[in-house]
Amino acid sequence: MMKKLGLLPKIILGIILGVIIGSTSPEWIIKGFATFSGIFSNFLNFIIPLIIIGFIAPGIGELGKGAGKLLGLTTAIAYGSTIVAGLAAYFVSTNFFPHILEVGTLTSAFKNPEEALTKAYFTIEIPPIMGVMSALVLAFTLGLGAASLKGDSLQNVMVDLRTIVEKVISSVIVPLLPVHIMCVFTNLTYAGQVQLIISVFFKVFIIIIALHILYLFVQYFIAGQLGRKSYISLMKNMLPVYMTAIGTQSSAATIPVTLRQVKKNRVSDQIADFVVPLCATIHLSGSTITLVSCSMAVMMLNGMPTTFGIMFPFILMLGITMVAAPGVPGGAVMSAIGLLQLMLGFSPSLTSLMIALYIAQDSFGTACNVTGDGAIAIIVDRIKGNGKAHQPVEQMEPIA
């Protein structure tokens, strides 16, 4: 029965069980859950550099072997859209969140929220093979190097590494995530923190989904103006894409529907066939909105600074790191874990909380991602010739 459930229902079930167990169990049982959670968190920290190298390096290598100017144009527009989405999330969060949550609530209720949690019986140290920044630099070096080489030997090795990491994520991390989340919420409930967190983030989710929809309106308004088309009719044609993505939670699985609807919006076949699979890999505006919003909410609750100087570099790096998002539910937050820890100072428990919060709305973030791909296709089509016949371009395989 559990195998038939999707990841989101399992996460929700894990949260419910965690709240029940944390409310009714003695400390010695909570310590057992904390032990599993600590070991899993250490394994997650170990795998983060491998995720970065395994996905970013071959991703850059594939981009570098693409179709020249069209690739550069599409990548620039997609990256720009992702950064604008992150900035929009920052400014909305800065202006709205202080009105729906009390900054520093967890810190005032618990002198140190981390210390309030029950400690594990023991820990198993699994140090990562390198730091996050070292992994990022190595990934860029290998990716750019593979793109410049004539042969494919290095690229093939990196693709194989990506396959291995994908297997680890899909076969180990994703199946154990609901158990990990249950353990985290068991501990949070026992410490008396979970009621506050759940009540706050219900309001945060409403703002995030509203921002997703508003950003899609902006994207299609711009695309409609450039393409001289009605943005309302353009968005209406993309509704099947939005609904399909909510069901699949996967940009890659939605590509066939996205292609069909983009072509209904009178985008030339050649441009649609190139832009849609590519943007399924590199354009994650909805995921960026969610990650920025949720991280700021977590930071505000813990009294951590959320200044523009802190968040803007994070948003810039997030736009690049989203290329590494593996094609599994919650893949974007997996790729962002390193940045959350390195640039925002998230602890293991805050990272686990972010994973749960992100996955709880992953469907809506994915829907925003892929629906926005249609707007980028219209813009690229307009810039490259306004729907006139184009020369065929090399297609690229999506990685997310």
pLDDT, tens digit, 9 for 90 and up, residues 33-77: 888 888 887 887 788 788 778 877 787 777 666 555 777 788 888
Residue 343 in domain: yes
- pLDDT value at residue 323: 65
Report if residue 351 sits inside a domain.
yes
Confidence check: pLDDT of 311 > 90: yes
> What domain count does the chain have?
1
Q: Report the distance separating Cα 279 and Cα 69, nearest Å.
A: 15
| Mean pLDDT (whole number) for 149-175 | 83
The residues, ordered by sequence, that sit 6+ positions from 65 with a Cβ below 8 Å of its Cβ are 147, 155
394 vs 324 pLDDT, higher one: 324
More confident call, 288 vs 203: 288
| Residue 246: both structure tokens together | 């909510």
In this structure, is residue 391 part of a structural domain?
no
User: pLDDT at position 315, please?
Assistant: 92
Computed over every residue of the chain, the mean pLDDT equals 79
Domain that holds residue 61: 7-385
Residue 400 in any domain: the answer is no
The answer, yes or no, to whether residue 253 has pLDDT greater than 70, is no
Output the CA–CA distances (angstroms, integers) from residue 58 to 55, 163, 323, 391, in the order listed: 6, 11, 10, 27
pLDDT exceeds cutoff 60 at 298: yes
Residues 238 and 256: their CA atoms lie apart, in Å, by 12
Any domain includes 398: no
| Range with the poorest average pLDDT among 249-253, 311-315, 372-376 | 249-253
pLDDT of 98: 84
Which stretch of 26-30, 54-58, 267-271 has the lowest confidence by average pLDDT? 54-58
pLDDT in tens, 196-246: 667 777 788 889 999 999 999 999 999 888 877 888 888 888 888 888 787
**Which DSSP string do the residues of 360-396 spell out, in sequence order?**
HTHHHHHHHHHHHHHHHHHHHHHHHTTT---------
CA 239 to CA 243: how far, in whole Å? 6
The C-alpha atoms of residue 395 and residue 60 are separated, in whole angstroms, by 15
CATH number of the CATH domain containing 281: 1.10.3860
Residues 229, 378 contacting (CB under 8 angstroms): yes
d(CA 23, CA 26): 9
Give domain status of residue 42, yes or no: yes
* Across 18-22, 54-58, 322-326, least confident range: 322-326
DSSP 328-367: STTHHHHHHHHHHHHHH---HHHHHHHHHHHHHTHHHHHH
pLDDT > 70 in the chain, percent: 82
More confident residue, 106 or 137: 137
Q: What is the pTM of this model?
A: 0.73
Q: Within a domain: residue 226?
A: yes
pLDDT digits (tens, 9 = 90+) for 339-350: 888 888 888 778
Most confident of 58-72, 155-169, 248-262, 312-326: 155-169
Q: What is the pLDDT of residue 106?
A: 59
* Domain assignment of residue 182, yes or no: yes
Q: Each residue of 71-121: pLDDT tens digit?
A: 778 888 888 999 999 999 999 999 988 887 776 565 544 445 455 567 778
Comparing 384 with 83, the larger pLDDT belongs to 83
What is the model's pLDDT at position 386?
Answer: 52
Cβ neighbours for 325, distance < 8 A, ≥ 6 positions apart: 55, 284, 287, 331, 332, 334, 335, 400
Could you tell me where the DSSP H helices lie in 25-152?
Answer: 27-64, 68-100, 105-109, 113-116, 132-148
